Amino acid sequence: MSENSSKKWYSSLWFTIIWLIIFPPVGIILLWVFQKQLTPLVKGILTAASAIWLIIAIAIGGSQGDTNQTDVSSSSSISSSSQVSSEVSSEPASSTPSSEPASSTSEPETTSYKAGTYKIGVDMPAGEYVITATSDFSTSYMEIASDSNGTLDSIVANDNYKNRIYVTVSDGQYFKFQGTATPAAETPAYTGAYEEGMYLVGKDIPAGEYKISPIKEGDTAYFEVDSDSLHVLDSIITNENVEGSVYQTLTDGQYIKLSGTKIEQ
């Protein structure tokens, strides 16, 4: 039997080459043990090539493993995020009650004018005003003039008053007063004891019959009932100087002016 026919199959060159490709460590061992017909130079080249192939294969395999791991992690993160998002969206939105009211209704600002002289229609609108005195105990003065000449003939109406007084002015007139003027429509109804001053029946004082007498016994006092607040002679419905006491019936829309007098039902 010849040497070639007795040679084992695992020592053949083709078997060695296959292992150099599929698993270089085994192929290299087979190369150097059984392939004695090859020169050391050829064996070295095959060994180096096989080793390089092994390194490339390992590098490729490691890269694919990292990529697969990254994909799995990304998928897990996306899945977790989706789950959290789903849980959040499935929970009913909680509404935190506000400590502040939904809508705050603030009282409108009141227009007021300080003491001075105003031209009606220029400095302040025409209309009815309530003037409050600078002090509850002092006497204040108001005057309506037709022009700014400052003569007696220019005076349309004037009056000394305490506490409060209603006055109606028209465009073109000149309005001089002490105290503070507020539009009558913005002035709240009067409350408290009816002291000296001017009151609107039906708003500040109820309609009805009243007893009017001097604040100080023995003094002469005065009261006046008017149909409006123009302070002209035609506005006076009745007036009287009171020494003892008198009874007077008041109806809605009238004005009662008290000077040194007290009023009670």
At residue 68, the pLDDT reads: 54
- For the chain, the three-class secondary structure string (H helix, E strand, C coil) is CCHHHHCCHHHCHHHHHHHHHHCHHHHHHHHHHHCCCCCHHHHHHHHHHHHHHHHHHHHHHHHHHHHHHHHHHHHHHHHHHHHHHHHHHHCCCCCCCCCCCCCCCCCCCCCCEEEEEEEECCCECCEEEEEECCCCCCCEEEEEECCCCCCHHHEEEEEEECCEEEEEECCCCEEEEEEEEEEHHHCCCCCCCCCCEEEEECCCECCEEEEEEECCCCCCEEEEEECCCCCCHHHEEEEEEECCCEEEEECCCCEEEEECEEEEC
Q: Say yes or no to pLDDT of 177 above 90.
A: yes
Q: Say yes or no to pLDDT of 66 above 70.
A: no
Task: For residue 94, report the phi and psi dihedrals to the nearest 5 degrees.
Answer: -90, 135
At residue 33, the pLDDT reads: 77
C-alpha pair distances (Å), 50 with each of 16, 24, 25, 36, 40:
11, 6, 8, 18, 15
For the residues 68-87, what does the mean pLDDT come to? 48
Q: Say yes or no to pLDDT of 131 above 90.
A: yes
Q: Which residue has the tokens 């302040």?
A: 124
Tell me the average pLDDT of the chain: 81
In tens, the pLDDT along 132-173 reads 998 766 789 999 999 999 999 999 999 999 899 999 999 999
At residue 4, the pLDDT reads: 47
At residue 220, the pLDDT reads: 77
Q: Say yes or no to pLDDT of 203 above 80.
A: yes
The more confidently predicted of residues 19 and 2 is 19
Alpha-carbon Rg for the chain, nearest whole angstrom, is: 56
The more confidently predicted of residues 45 and 27 is 45
The Cα–Cα gap between 76 and 174 comes to 86
pLDDT grade for 227, boundaries at 50, 70 and 90? very high
Burial of 202 by CB count in 10 Å (0-12 exposed, 13-18 middle, 19+ buried)? middle
Q: Say yes or no to pLDDT of 105 above 80.
A: no
Task: For residue 154, report the phi and psi dihedrals to the nearest 5 degrees.
Answer: -80, -20
The more confidently predicted of residues 49 and 179 is 179
For the residues 178-206, what does the mean pLDDT come to? 94
> Token digits for 211?
């007893």
